[in-house]
Structure 1
Amino acid sequence: MLDHPGWELLPQPTRALRTPTGTWLIRATEHYTPVLLGGGGTAPHLDIYDPADLRDISLPAGLAGALDALGPVRRLRNTDLWDALVTAIIRQVIRAGQARTMYRALLNAEGPRAGTICLAPVAEQILAMPEQSFNMLGMAFKRRPLQAAADAYLRHHDEWAAMPGDALVKALQAVPRIGPWTAGAAVADHTGDFSIYPYGDLAVRTWAARADPASAWPDDETTFAALWRELAGPHLSTLTALTLAWGDQHVRKPPAHPDTTVP
């Protein structure tokens, strides 16, 4: 699943990722072979979401068939909470494609290099960036939320790192310009638990409806979220992640490379 904008998609999906103990280079190949670039510790974790886990719940036939056709989906957990916050803030309000372009522009302009790939600028860099730099990147309206998040991250990252996901979602909302959607999206990215993701949002509603156009899906977020929880039962994370993976696969053509696994 290549939903995170940190993936360089061509010629082969590749991503650099910080962990608390080192930096890794990951390629989306059939065999998971992360390469340590600096530091040490354990390689970033792959979460696996298996449609087989959904067979004991009653999903609409169209959605069940669409997700089952994916097979098990692998997704790289974002071990860097700061990057997860940057990503979610950039995704606020704008379309996914525009957010990916903006995120890549920020990394290429300001991010440190890890091999051939750029990482997100660290919180200290974001806090020190002048207003003109944001303006030049077309990110003037992202400056205040990113700098508020950077300031909060530098003050609270140790306590945030010790929190369970649901508590972290609440804690992040104390930061100016971070609401429930941003907090939930960031923590889902960071923990791999998509029961925390704001599953009533437009992305989930859109992909559910496109995967299963025969069903009458609610248009409003609150009603859809209630139905989604009821359908998912104990598999809310798996159902949400797989639906987003189905959308990730269908929103763009996967890169043509023999070793690429998509999603």
Structure 2
Amino acid sequence: MKDSSKYYLTDHYSWVKTETGTFMCAHETADGLVYSVLSQDKHTLLEGNASYMEFKKNDKLVDSPSATYIYRMQCPNLWDCIGTNIIRQVIRASQAKNMYHTFSESIGERVSLTGGIHYHLFPSPQKVLETPDSTYQRMGMSFKRDALKSAARFILEHADRLEKIQAPDLLDELMKIHRVGSWTARATVADYTNELATYPYGDAAIRFYAREALPCHEWPKEEAAFIQELHKVAGAKNMSSSIATLIMVHEIKRG
């Protein structure tokens, strides 16, 4: 049954739109496959076993009626979070999303989900290391190869230990990976923990979302000034809910 007070975010690149218009995603974990299926309007969780975090909409960042409660899937696979944000580095969001899906469809494991629908998982660390350079070149990912392989080796070596580390220390650990700096580490931890306030929310994506949400407001272009203005407009106490609100508004306006 539809509940318009709820809205489920699909900003993580693992989400795909099916032929019927529903949305689905899946991740491999040590305990098996975790998946989720959403309705076409993203107001209803149809099925799945994924964990979600609830955020209350920040009304100060919305200029039209929308859902009160926002839900974001907690990505259960740290490797997927790292790999996704390495792919996001220094390229446009649309290009990064296409690259993520090309990568998954080319070398990721193919699994069957509800209704016999097939889904390609994000490639495992082992697969990333086994894949020859020529395949990365064919996928247009030669410039991502070294960083992905460095991260894959790090995960395989330290996976058990990393799963037990809390967010502040996890940031420091991730930045030990070659070509993983503060932005990538913070974006990764935000995806993995759903503590969205960890995300580097002065970046170009959030600045763009803020302009979409409140187009009549004069948002600073410079990162530090933008963060100060966002705190002023939204309130600095619960930035996770504010970031979730901006993502929701972006998804609604983009259809």
**Shared fold per TM-score greater than 0.5:** yes
**Contact 2:87–2:100 (CA under 8 A) maintained in structure 1:** yes
- Residue 90 of structure 1 deviates from its aligned partner by 0.7
2:18 is matched with 10
For 1:25 and 1:164, locate their aligned partners in 2 and report how far apart those are by CA, in whole Å. 24
- Residue 246 of structure 1 deviates from its aligned partner by 1.6
For 2:125 and 2:29, locate their aligned partners in 1 and report how far apart those are by CA, in whole Å. 15
Structure 2 counterpart SS, 1:233: coil
Does 1:213 pair with 2:215? yes
In structure 1, what residue type is equivalent to 2:78?
L
For 1:174 and 1:232, locate their aligned partners in 2 and report how far apart those are by CA, in whole Å. 33
The one of the two structures with greater contact order (alpha-carbon pairs below 8 A, sep at least 6) is: 1
2:138 to 136, 139, 161: 136
In structure 1, what residue type is equivalent to 2:252?
Q
Structure 2 segments unaligned to the other structure (5+ residues)? 1-8, 113-117
Does 1:46 pair with 2:52? yes
For 2:46 and 2:147, locate their aligned partners in 1 and report how far apart those are by CA, in whole Å. 35
- Residue 249 of structure 1 deviates from its aligned partner by 2.7
1:242 to 235, 242, 245: 245
Residues 47-103 of structure 1: per-residue CA shift (max 9 Å, x gap): 12211xx46xxx4xxx2435x624322211100111111111111111111111111
**Contact 1:16–1:114 (CA under 8 A) maintained in structure 2:** no
For 1:64 and 1:246, locate their aligned partners in 2 and report how far apart those are by CA, in whole Å. 7
Which structure: greater strand fraction? 2
2:69 to 69, 72, 88: 72
- Residue 18 of structure 1 deviates from its aligned partner by 2.0
Structure 2 counterpart SS, 1:224: helix
1:31 is matched with 45
Residues 95-133 of structure 1: per-residue CA shift (max 9 Å, x gap): 111111111111111011121101111111111211111
For 1:81 and 1:155, locate their aligned partners in 2 and report how far apart those are by CA, in whole Å. 13
Distance change (3 Å), C-alpha of 1:142 and 1:109: same
Does 1:112 pair with 2:118? no
| Cα-Cα RMSD | 1.7
1:170 is matched with 172
Residues 219-255 of structure 1: per-residue CA shift (max 9 Å, x gap): 111221233345432211110121122213323x2xx
Tell me the TM-score normalized by structure 2: 0.86
Structure 2 counterpart SS, 1:65: coil
In structure 2, what residue type is equivalent to 1:14?
M
Equivalent pairs, count: 235
Does 1:22 pair with 2:37? no
Residues 186-228 of structure 1: per-residue CA shift (max 9 Å, x gap): 1111111101011101111111112112222111112212333
In structure 2, what residue type is equivalent to 1:33?
E
2:4 is matched with none
**Contact 2:15–2:24 (CA under 8 A) maintained in structure 1:** yes
Tell me the TM-score normalized by structure 1: 0.84
**Contact 1:123–1:151 (CA under 8 A) maintained in structure 2:** yes
Structure 1 counterpart SS, 2:72: strand
**Contact 2:190–2:198 (CA under 8 A) maintained in structure 1:** yes
Structure 1 counterpart SS, 2:197: coil
**Contact 1:23–1:114 (CA under 8 A) maintained in structure 2:** no
For 1:229 and 1:175, locate their aligned partners in 2 and report how far apart those are by CA, in whole Å. 31
In structure 1, what residue type is equivalent to 2:225?
T
1:93 to 81, 85, 90: 90
- Residue 26 of structure 1 deviates from its aligned partner by 1.7
**Contact 1:17–1:23 (CA under 8 A) maintained in structure 2:** yes
For 2:251 and 2:154, locate their aligned partners in 1 and report how far apart those are by CA, in whole Å. 31
